[in-house]
Chains A and B, each alone.
Chain A
């Protein structure tokens, strides 16, 4: 549990040292996020077709995935119509499936 915090403490200074300030100072816009992972120790981002279902407080569903350092969430939709996928059959707040893509960083969980 504490390992991830320690890892982040190690990685963050590297990232910060790798870039200058992210505040906008004019000129060309800075790249603030990318689809290619360039940080050492960081994970590869979400993998196609791999995510867990999370039931939201209203009963609609989301996909969640955690690549180790960052978590991603996306709306679950009906693939035929693009309408939201909602149901009364599942408890609100439930998570179904494995959301961690990579097992290398143990998670810090809230109590």
Chain B
């Protein structure tokens, strides 16, 4: 039902475009598409959950609807930057080009896991864009694994460990300072509501 409404709204948009191009004298081939009928309308509201992820909701009187807000290009659930527990620069944690932790990196991580107080964690490794994509995927995964190992040694539950390589930069890789920003490990804390 919901999907029908969404697809019909798209059809309305397409019809508007068709109307415009017809007015401009552009001949458009007849769409190889069956007709849909819009049978209802919903004014969606936005709800932000405790992690910062967004949902569309609507109140139908005595029933309610809620769906995830997704990025139409990637399909990913859209979230606000609210609940990243820690971001640490890789230069602090690791030796250059290595997944071996430095002494101060180990110390920082032990202190972090001792004090964060979350129920569980996720660890994400990132690199800058130097070296090949494949190499960076491997390096960031190994680095994330090293961080997760310290967490588990400290008694933390680490539910997800992923290396994203150079594929999720937070700055353009066009200067030494920006590349340093991109070399990072992110730790997400999963917390639960307290009664």
Contact = CB atoms under 8 A, between A and B. Distances in A.
A104 to B, nearest CB: 15
Contacts of A97: 192-195
Nearest to B43: A34
Given A32-B40, A33-B42, A79 B82 contact: yes
Contacts of A67: 59, 64
Contacts, number: 168
Interface residues on B, range: 35 or more
A22 B41 CA distance: 11
B39 interface: yes
Nearest to B168: A81
B62 A15 contact: yes
Contact of A78 (B44, B59, B160): B160
Contacts of B43: 31, 33-36
Contacts of B80: 79
Interface residues on A, range: 35 or more
Given A42-B59, A74-B49, A29 B64 contact: no
B190 A81 contact: no
A77 B68 contact: yes
Interface string B181-195: 000001010101111
Contacts of A11: 62
Nearest to A48: B48
A94 to B, nearest CB: 10
Contact of B38 (A29, A86, A96): A29
Interface of A: 8, 11-12, 15, 22, 24, 29-37, 39, 42, 45-46, 48-53, 63, 67, 69-83, 85-87, 89, 96-98
Contact of B59 (A35, A48, A50, A89): A35
A8 B62 contact: yes
Contacts of B41: 29-32
Q: Which 3 residue pairs spanning A and B have beta carbons closest together?
A: A35-B45, A97-B193, A70-B64
A67 B53 CA distance: 19
